[in-house]
Amino acid sequence: MGRKDGRYVDDAFAVQREPVFTRDHVFALAAGNLAAVVVPSFLDAGTCIGAMEAISRLPVKDVNAKRVPDRVTRFGPSLHDYRSVRGDFEADAYWEAADTARSLWAAARVSPDPVRLAIDRISAGWGSPIKPATINGRSLFSGMFRDVNFGIRIHFDEITQEYPRGLFDQELAAQLSFNLWVQVPRVGGATTIWRRRWHPQDYQFRDGYAVHSTIIDGFPDASFKPRAGDAALFNSGYMHAVEDCHGDRRVAFSFFLGLTESNELIAWA
């Protein structure tokens, strides 16, 4: 590890550009030995434009502003918006939103379907089919896309922290974030990941869903600026943030992948 331009860089925590996602990538990300794997041009330009046209016909909603004050809009439910202040899963509202999003998505006939394509290609690299995460046998929704116009503050995503008593039928060993960008801003919009995980004693640094930036002081980081069509996987248990896009659109299909205790990959958004 060394200092470079005032930042700490760590060769063992780097962004790797690869033609495909592989099984080894998943294990290296799960173990924290890689910051991110980026597959450039995962989708071609025509598919990105087609996806943008199709999704412009779908209703988007502002993400729960109490939880995420960063002005993010999205299509489809994301599990963390269905956690009550007491920490319970708001099942009825979630399943209703998931059913609605599935019907709207099917009716929009987005072809090729970027989410289906992503699940199929990651499954091929992983070596067996990715299955949906389930709660009491019911499959969670993973077809979410979001528009991040002003960035996202430093945070981490870990379902095992959000629901310490467990929520899924499966036990998770690691959680990865998958993003597939179909439109990016001219300026800004880089993703940064720090080699810093959340520790329970960090609660004083918590500010809603985000964490205070002192938490990452002195920790190595790695960044990449996605282009339209690029896809990336990173370990969402590490602190990460999205740079301001100055109001421009930055649209990505996004879901989580869980590596289960029995070495399966499951997906949800």
Ligand X SMILES: O=C(O)CCC(=O)C(=O)O
Residue 182: how many other CB atoms lie within 10 Å: 24
Q: Which is nearer to Fe ion, 157 or 230 (CB)?
A: 157
Give the residue from 165, 172, 166 showing the smallest Cα distance to 235: 172
Question: According to the binding rule CB under 6 A, does residue 236 interact with ligand X?
Answer: yes
Q: Are 241 and 177 in contact (CB under 8 A)?
A: no
Strands 36-39 and 15-17: parallel
Per-residue binder mask for ligand X (CB under 6 A), 96-135, x = binder: ----------------------------------------
124 torsion bin: left (phi>0), alpha (psi -120 to 50), beta (else): alpha
Among residues 11, 36, 80, the alpha carbon closest in space to that of 234 is found at 36
- Considering CB distances under 5 to 8 angstroms, the limit depending on partner class, which of ligand X, Fe ion, none binds residue 191? ligand X
Q: Is 191 in the site for ligand X (CB under 6 A)?
A: yes
Check residue 183 for interaction with ligand X (CB under 6 A).
Answer: no
From the list Fe ion, ligand X, none, partner contacted by residue 269 (C-beta under 5 to 8 A by kind): none
Using CB under 6 A, pick the residue from 157, 221, 230, 244 that binds ligand X.
157
**Least distance CB 44 / ligand X (angstroms):** 20
Question: In the complex, what is the shortest distance from the CB of residue 240 to ligand X, in angstroms, rounded to a whole number?
Answer: 6
CA dist., res. 224 & res. 217, Å (int): 19
Of these partners, ligand X, Fe ion, none, which one is at the site of residue 242 (CB under 5 to 8 Å by kind)? ligand X
Q: Is residue 47 part of the contact set for ligand X (CB under 6 A)?
A: no
Q: Is the dihedral of CA 24, 253, 198, 192 positive or negative?
A: positive
Window 147-176: contact mask with Fe ion (x via CB under 5 A): ----------x-------------------
Neighbours of 260 (CB within 10 A): 17
C-alpha distance across the termini of the chain, in Å: 34
Binding range to ligand X, per CB under 6 A, among 58-66, 165-173, 207-215, 235-243:
235-243
Asked if 192 contacts 157 with a C-beta cutoff of 8 angstroms, the reply is no
Give whichever of 138 and 246 is closer to ligand X, judged by the CB atom.
Answer: 246
Q: Which residues bind Fe ion (CB under 5 A)?
A: 157
Contacts with ligand X by CB under 6 A lie at 148, 152, 157, 177, 179, 191, 236, 240, 242, 252, 254
